[in-house]
Amino acid sequence: MNFETAFDQVLGKEAGFSDDPRDSGGQTKYGITEAVARAFGYTGPMNLLGLDQAKAIYRSRYWDALLLDQVASAAPAVAGELFDTAVNLGTEQAATFLQRALNVLNKEGSWYPDVKADGRIGPMTIAALREYVRRRGAEGQVVLLRALNALQGAFYVELAERRAKDEAFVYGWLLNRVEISIAAGGKA
């Protein structure tokens, strides 16, 4: 998994312009909210945001911010999953899911110390991921993907329970966002 592949996969879910009044993100283009686009210096109408600018935002805001090149070197499918989750829920939530999952998969701290679930991937989270993958291998990556997806699915359900307007989106989120890549060894 690399940025180009992850970008293409996410773009398949996020292509086009959306202005659904029920969507808390407001206007989006290629899955990028107006607030994020403005934070990256885009000043035009959202429906005119260009693909190259969107790609640059995706790279900086999501891929690089989560150190996903380093994640991919240890667990490629996990990097793709975190990227997709970050685009939909934010980098802090994606990182927190990873940290929480690693903490409950570390044999009570005997394989590697718990990492602070602070929503920022840094050297300790990367080291924990590498050690987890070293010990568990390909099957362990599938289990980690399942844990990440379980956390993500629960997040969507809890969100819709708190905000009824999000019920309009839950089915699509669960259909398109909570999945395990067959290439990662998951089962359909």
Give CA–CA dist 100/97, Å, rounded.
5
The predicted model gives 3-10 an average pLDDT of 91
Give CA–CA dist 91/79, Å, rounded.
12
- Beta carbons within 10 angstroms of residue 64's beta carbon: 13
DSSP secondary structure of 106-133 = STTTTSSPPPP-SS---HHHHHHHHHHH
Give CA–CA dist 121/150, Å, rounded.
20
Q: In this predicted model, what pLDDT tens digit does every residue of 18-74 receive, in sequence order?
A: 777 777 777 889 989 999 999 999 999 999 999 999 999 999 999 999 999 999 999
CATH code (residue 97): 1.20.141.10
pTM: 0.86
Q: Tell me the two tokens of residue 178.
A: 């909570």
User: What is the count of structural domains for the chain?
Assistant: 1
Q: Phi/psi zone of residue 119: left (φ > 0), alpha (ψ -120 to 50 degrees), beta?
A: left
- The pLDDT of residue 187 is 44
Q: In this predicted model, what pLDDT tens digit does every residue of 142-183 receive, in sequence order?
A: 999 999 999 998 888 888 888 887 777 778 777 777 775 434
Q: In this predicted model, what pLDDT tens digit does every residue of 85-102 receive, in sequence order?
A: 999 889 999 999 999 999
Owning domain of residue 94: 3-184
